[in-house]
A and B are shown apart, each in its own frame.
Chain A
Amino acid sequence: MFKRTEAAGTPFAFTFDGQEVAAREGDSIAGALLAAGIVITRTTPVGQAPRGPFCMMGACFDCLAEVDGIGGVQTCLVPARPGMVVQRQIGVRDLDEADAA
């Protein structure tokens, strides 16, 4: 669906749900996912509807995913890095129970 317009940048890889994703230096996580044909990064908390990167500028919060164990990350705002472990976020992210009274 998406095609790269420039071939610049050193290639590297990270994983999405265990699958290897080819990225280039300078890609955001969301950009690399879209270039790899991955368009669904999360499901909605209430209706479980699929969502993916949309605005690519930090406004829509539709591109949330779990990045290196941290949920609710706006993947369009975070540069992709070699070896990152990204996972589709199902519903809301978990909060650390340590703060529970």
Chain B
Amino acid sequence: MSEIFDVAVIGGGMVGSAIAYGCAIRGARTVLLDGADGSLRAARGNFGLVWSQGKGARMPAYAAWTRASLDRWTAFSEAMGSAAGQEIGYRRTGGLDFCLGDEDFQERTEEVRRLHNLVAGGPEIQMLDRAELRALLPNTPFGPNVTGASLMPDDGHANPLLLLRGLHAGLHRAGAEHRPGIAVDSIVATDGAFLITGPTGQTRAHRVVVASGLGTPRLAAQIGIEIPMRAVKGQNMVTERLPPLLPMPASALRQTAEGVIQIGVTSEEGETRTATSVNHLARMATRAVEVLPVLKQARIVRAWAAMRPMTPDGYPAYAQSALYPGAFAAVCHSGVTLSAIHASVLAEAILAGALPAEMADMHPARFEGRTDVQAH
């Protein structure tokens, strides 16, 4: 049989590519088994925020994990830009979440109070009223119903397609193999290595990482890891390029480095197709126009939808198999934000053969006995 890789990563999306990149640049012989063009690919449909605001309120370990990834993002984005051959549009400007109306403002103010000191020593989320928001962004033509915003100082955004390009180019440059168009049927532990089999052939590796998004439960089960997951559809649309309007990204509204305004995003349960729907897009556009009325003049150029791979509590799940040491699973819906830590701390842990204590709370064992979701 052919060579045995140090690491095989199953899944070439944002999570799997970051792990494979991180393993490859640390010298491991790495192969990335990527799906087909028609696979569900959240990595090619996401919004592109590099974001901590509001994340991990019910799981401090996830809040800290997110913060630790953000702390690595500046250096990481430079490495990605170098690999991609162009900078990936990372802007660490601070990130906003707008409030529309007084009730929204009151609720957010309460929420911000609760989120105080979520990560000890980290930057604090702030509440801005309308006057403070206008002082912060004097040239942004906010609508009259914008009552304020919450602000997280070093949140930001990046071009997620260039990030993915950087990961793939970077792992290739580090000597890893990227194999597209691979379906995986089975993972079997045999002769001191894992044998990964699909219709296009077999791959052997000493370590295997299942990072297959919504395809994770089926494969992870074969290595003794149970992760229930469901698809949550998100729709996006982009306008034509516009003059600078919004210098900071916001939840569901950002202006890219090229001038495009990107408008998000739905969270639709029980969907099986990635089609867009006019009623949802209209609602998204209405809200965007409420924030920035000038957008009613903008032309929509494109709309699309993607499926978020979602665990029952919405937080990431990472595990090493107890039955088959050396076999791991990693899944989350914040693949852009967490890519910097997946490419460093997680990749190192996989090579070392043990996940660190800081990741313990994100083990999927927390889902045992839960019946409110369907594993599929």
- Complex: how many Å from CA A34 to CA B276? 35
| Number of A-B contacts defined by CB within 8 Å | 39
Judge whether A61 and B259 touch: CB under 8 Å.
no
Judge whether B243 and A94 touch: CB under 8 Å.
yes
- Complex: how many Å from CA A61 to CA B301? 9
Q: Does A69 contact B (CB under 8 A)?
A: no
Q: What number of B residues sit within 8 Å (CB to CB) of A? A: 18
Q: Does B356 contact A (CB under 8 A)?
A: no
Judge whether A101 and B259 touch: CB under 8 Å.
no
Judge whether A46 and B259 touch: CB under 8 Å.
yes
Cross-interface CB contact of A92 among B142, B242, B257, cutoff 8 Å: B242
Residue of A nearest to B293 (CB): A99
- Complex: how many Å from CA A46 to CA B256? 11
Q: Does B218 contact A (CB under 8 A)?
A: no
**Chain A interface (Cβ within 8 Å of chain B)?**
45-46, 61, 64, 72, 92-96, 99-101
A100-B240 contact given A45-B258, A45-B259, A46-B258, CB 8 Å threshold: no
14 contacts between A and B (CB under 8 A): A45-B241, A45-B259, A72-B299, A92-B240, A92-B241, A92-B242, A93-B242, A95-B294, A95-B298, A96-B294, A96-B297, A99-B141, A99-B293, A101-B143
Residue of A nearest to B260 (CB): A45
Cross-interface CB contact of B142 among A46, A72, A95, A101, cutoff 8 Å: A101
Residue of A nearest to B245 (CB): A95
Distance from A45 Cβ to chain B, minimum over Cβ atoms (Å): 5
Residue of A nearest to B297 (CB): A95
- Complex: how many Å from CA A46 to CA B89? 13
Residue of A nearest to B141 (CB): A100
Judge whether B240 and A61 touch: CB under 8 Å.
yes
Judge whether B294 and A99 touch: CB under 8 Å.
yes
Residue of B nearest to A74 (CB): B299
Judge whether B141 and A101 touch: CB under 8 Å.
yes
Judge whether B301 and A99 touch: CB under 8 Å.
no
B297 cross-chain contacts in A, Cβ below 8 A: 95-96, 99
Q: Does B296 contact A (CB under 8 A)?
A: yes
Given A72-B240, A92-B240, A101-B142, 8 additional A-B pairs, CB 8 A: A45-B259, A61-B240, A92-B242, A92-B243, A99-B141, A99-B293, A99-B294, A101-B293
Judge whether B258 and A99 touch: CB under 8 Å.
no
Residue of A nearest to B301 (CB): A61
A95 cross-chain contacts in B, Cβ below 8 A: 242-243, 294, 297-298
A100-B258 contact given A61-B301, A92-B241, A95-B242, CB 8 Å threshold: no
Residue of B nearest to A71 (CB): B240
A94 cross-chain contacts in B, Cβ below 8 A: 243
Distance from A73 Cβ to chain B, minimum over Cβ atoms (Å): 9
User: What does DSSP make chain B's interface, helix, strand, loop or mixed?
Assistant: loop
Judge whether A100 and B241 touch: CB under 8 Å.
no
Residue of A nearest to B292 (CB): A99
Residue of A nearest to B257 (CB): A46
Q: Does B325 contact A (CB under 8 A)?
A: no
Q: Does B85 contact A (CB under 8 A)?
A: no
Distance from A56 Cβ to chain B, minimum over Cβ atoms (Å): 17
- Complex: how many Å from CA A99 to CA B293? 6
A46 cross-chain contacts in B, Cβ below 8 A: 257-259
Q: Does B144 contact A (CB under 8 A)?
A: yes
- Complex: how many Å from CA A84 to CA B210? 59
Distance from B209 Cβ to chain A, minimum over Cβ atoms (Å): 38
The proximity string for B residues 225-267 relative to A, scoring 1 for CB distances below 8 Å and 0 otherwise, is 0000000000000001111000000000000011100000000
- Complex: how many Å from CA A7 to CA B144? 55
- Complex: how many Å from CA A8 to CA B62? 68
A64 cross-chain contacts in B, Cβ below 8 A: 240
A92 cross-chain contacts in B, Cβ below 8 A: 240-243, 259
B301 cross-chain contacts in A, Cβ below 8 A: 61
Distance from B217 Cβ to chain A, minimum over Cβ atoms (Å): 37
B243 cross-chain contacts in A, Cβ below 8 A: 92, 94-95
- Complex: how many Å from CA A53 to CA B301? 17
**Which 8 pairs from chain A and chain B are nearest by CB?**
A100-B141, A99-B294, A99-B293, A45-B241, A45-B259, A95-B294, A92-B243, A92-B241
Distance from A92 Cβ to chain B, minimum over Cβ atoms (Å): 5
B241 cross-chain contacts in A, Cβ below 8 A: 45, 92
Distance from A37 Cβ to chain B, minimum over Cβ atoms (Å): 27
Distance from A77 Cβ to chain B, minimum over Cβ atoms (Å): 12
Query: Within B128-161, which residues are at the interface with A (CB < 8 Å)?
Result: 141-144
